[in-house]
A and B are shown apart, each in its own frame.
Chain A
Amino acid sequence: MTSVGEVAATLTPAAGATQRRARLVLDTFLANRAAVAGLVLIVALTLFCFIGPLLYHTNQVTTRLGLEHLAPGSGRPLGTDEVGYDQLGRLMVGGQTSLEVAFGAAAVAVLFGAAWGATAGYFGGLVDGLMMRIVDAMLAIPALFLLLILATIFRPNVGMLILVVGLVAWLVPARLVRGESLSLRTREYVLAAKTMGVRAPTIIRRHIITNCIGTILVNATFQVADAVLLVAALSYLGLGIPPPAANWGSMLSNGLDFSYSGYWWMIYPPGLAIVVTVVAFNLVGDGLRDAFGLARRR
């Protein structure tokens, strides 16, 4: 027997229309050269971090103090750091953590934020008021301040770090999705589903969130860029994942300790890696937003 929810689902635009729209979005995106360049950069960075170590073998486990702070030369294109790790290899391994945490945090932020915003917007009234005041309150604490508080409470490992960054980042998608669901909840198909007795969680999942997918996807892309920055900032301040693990932010933090020694290879490569990653995700985000025909929100 088909449930009421499934019947209601057939009321949304036919599959053919959805496919045509997806096609249009994809075509617009691919016609945007900057966005495609961003996508290529993301693929290249991912390959560099995850496939790179398979081709370029370095010892990132045992410290060798005899090899510390060596300038770039043959066999070590980017020199070595303060405990003798090869910088290029470190950049790959550190990049893995940076990207993993950023993707994880963006996923947490967008999923939780979308659910929160859709619920608030769908119910409206007092529920909406209360839920959105909480969002307002957390947004009133500058991101880095909130991040530092959370990081002191939850001593980070990779999983915790994802959660902590996600806890700071979910506020913006919550606001965006709430704004859209305020208008979506008055659409005929939502009213129809409601009349048929579909339960609220199902309507929110099938009709509200599904129809915010453009906003959610675009925001998710920007969230990755922001998460890369937040993770790096936290590690830079020394509150990231503790030493044996590395990420671009903690590499920079080491660079700061030796900034007076002129070891440029400890400062520029990880910083550029962060900037290139953030640029790439911002480019793709801009492209997706234009492709979905959304207004410029940031």
Chain B
Amino acid sequence: MTRYLVRRVGQAVIVLLLVTIIVFGLLHLLPGGPARAILGTMATPTSIKAFNQANGLNHPIPVQYWDWLTKALRGNLGYSYQQNQSVASLLTQRVPKTAFLAGVSVLIALLIAVPVGLYQAVRRSRFDDYLLTVANFGLYSTPAFWLALVLVDLFAVRMHVFPAEAPQGSNFSAIFSDPKGLVLPVATIALVSIAAFSRYVRSSVLDQLSQDYVRMARSKGAGRRYVLTAHVLRNALSPVVTLLGLSLPFILSGTLITEQVFNYPGVGLLFFTACTVQDYPVLLGVILVVGTATVLGSLLADIGYAVLDPRVRYVRAEAAPA
């Protein structure tokens, strides 16, 4: 187990390093660079040169990367070209907000998806299972940006129940200044996640229901409800833990769109605005944070799975996958 763990963590670090190299390389692929985007169309060759010199953009790319990396390891992610703040301070403002948005949405999604998936598995191939599967399939194919738009149209424009803009402000507590403003963004991410989760819970429970231990417990006289909650659900949920870790990229993509639609001041919106003005230090900083989160997510998913299911641990120790 320890060897597996060390190997897995080592891989994660390499992957993360590659993420920064790839993104850094991509951003510096094209000549011209951010100077024109920042200084505007009236920029003179001299001012562009000065900008590049001031930001170290005149050095060869490997030198620039090394410079960025060594500083980043010391916690210095550079200074935003456009917003008058350091990237680190921008991130410390924004990350908790996105974590909150994503966390609450996923929690709500799970609270709904697990019972729905369980119910569907128990009612397999009946009319209500069929109906829920269809609804699920539709929701699964619905893009978050359209869902957000529909929610705004229905609940903000037509019924005036919830505002169409998320609470604003730079400190974390500001997002609670208008709890009603959180409803639609949370609902958007929760709804798209429910579709993915409940599909998974359903098939996971179905897998468990066909296992011998279920028949065994039933034949010993254990009640249906008891077998479901004590045995089946417990075993069916360990793959769900994995799913949670692995679906982090999907959830983060969802938050990007949602933050943009509702003007929620999180990491996604920061990234989007940085993209439109080619604010490289901010882009790199956000990718570093988001990439770390994703890599950690899949790492924890693997470890959590091994901890929850002893059989996996045994197999993994025998033949650790590449």
Contact = CB atoms under 8 A, between A and B. Distances in A.
Pair from one complex: yes
Interface of A: 128-129, 132-134, 136-145, 148-153, 225, 229, 232-233, 236-237, 239, 252, 255-256, 259-260, 262, 264, 267-268, 271, 274-275, 278-279, 282-283, 296
B278 A145 contact: no
B290 to A, nearest CB: 6
Contacts of A229: 143
B281 to A, nearest CB: 14
A152 B138 contact: no
Interface string B238-281: 00000000001110110011001100000000011001101000
B294 A252 contact: no
Contacts, number: 135
Given A256-B261, A279-B138, 6 more contacts: A132-B322, A139-B249, A142-B290, A142-B294, A236-B145, A262-B153
A143 B294 CA distance: 12
Given A145-B287, A150-B26, A262 B294 contact: no
B98 to A, nearest CB: 12
- Please provide the 9 A-B residue pairs with the shortest distance between their CB atoms, ordered closest to farther: A137-B18, A144-B253, A142-B249, A278-B141, A271-B146, A142-B252, A142-B253, A279-B141, A140-B294
Given A140-B249, A255-B149, A237 B15 contact: no
A141 B23 contact: yes
Contact of B260 (A237, A264, A267): A237
B293 to A, nearest CB: 9
Interface residues of B, number: 51
Given A148-B275, A152-B276, A225-B141, A140 B16 contact: yes
Contacts of B298: 140
Given A136-B15, A137-B22, A274-B146, A145 B256 contact: yes
Interface of B: 11, 14-16, 18-19, 22-23, 26-27, 29-30, 137-138, 140-143, 145-146, 149-150, 152-153, 157-158, 164, 203, 248-250, 252-253, 256-257, 260-261, 271-272, 275-276, 278, 283, 286-287, 290-291, 294-295, 298, 322
A226 to B, nearest CB: 10
Contacts of A151: 275
Contact of A259 (B149, B256, B271): B149
B22 A134 contact: yes
B18 A144 contact: no
A137 B322 contact: no
Contact of A153 (B29, B249, B271, B287): B29
Contacts of A271: 143, 146, 149-150
A153 B30 contact: yes
Contact of B253 (A143, A256, A259): A143
A275 B142 contact: yes
A57 to B, nearest CB: 28
Contacts of B137: 279, 282-283
Contacts of B29: 153
Contacts of A232: 143, 145
A233 B143 CA distance: 8
A78 to B, nearest CB: 16
6 contacts: A144-B252, A149-B23, A153-B26, A237-B257, A237-B260, A275-B138
A141 B14 contact: no
Contact of B278 (A137, A143, A152, A279): A152
Contacts of B19: 137-138, 140-141
B272 to A, nearest CB: 7
A275 B18 CA distance: 35
Contacts of A132: 322
Contacts of B257: 144, 233, 236-237
A54 to B, nearest CB: 28
A145 B286 contact: yes
Nearest to A260: B157
A167 B129 CA distance: 38
A274 B138 CA distance: 11
A243 to B, nearest CB: 16
A141 B141 contact: no
A152 B27 CA distance: 9
A137 B290 CA distance: 12
A283 B253 CA distance: 23
Contacts of B146: 252, 271, 274-275
A250 B11 CA distance: 40
A253 B261 CA distance: 10
A144 B143 contact: no
A240 B257 CA distance: 15
A91 to B, nearest CB: 14
Contacts of B290: 141-142, 145
Contacts of B138: 275, 279
A259 B152 contact: yes
A137 B287 CA distance: 11
B252 A267 contact: no
A214 to B, nearest CB: 20
Contacts of B152: 259
A112 B143 CA distance: 26
A135 B257 CA distance: 24
A267 B153 contact: yes
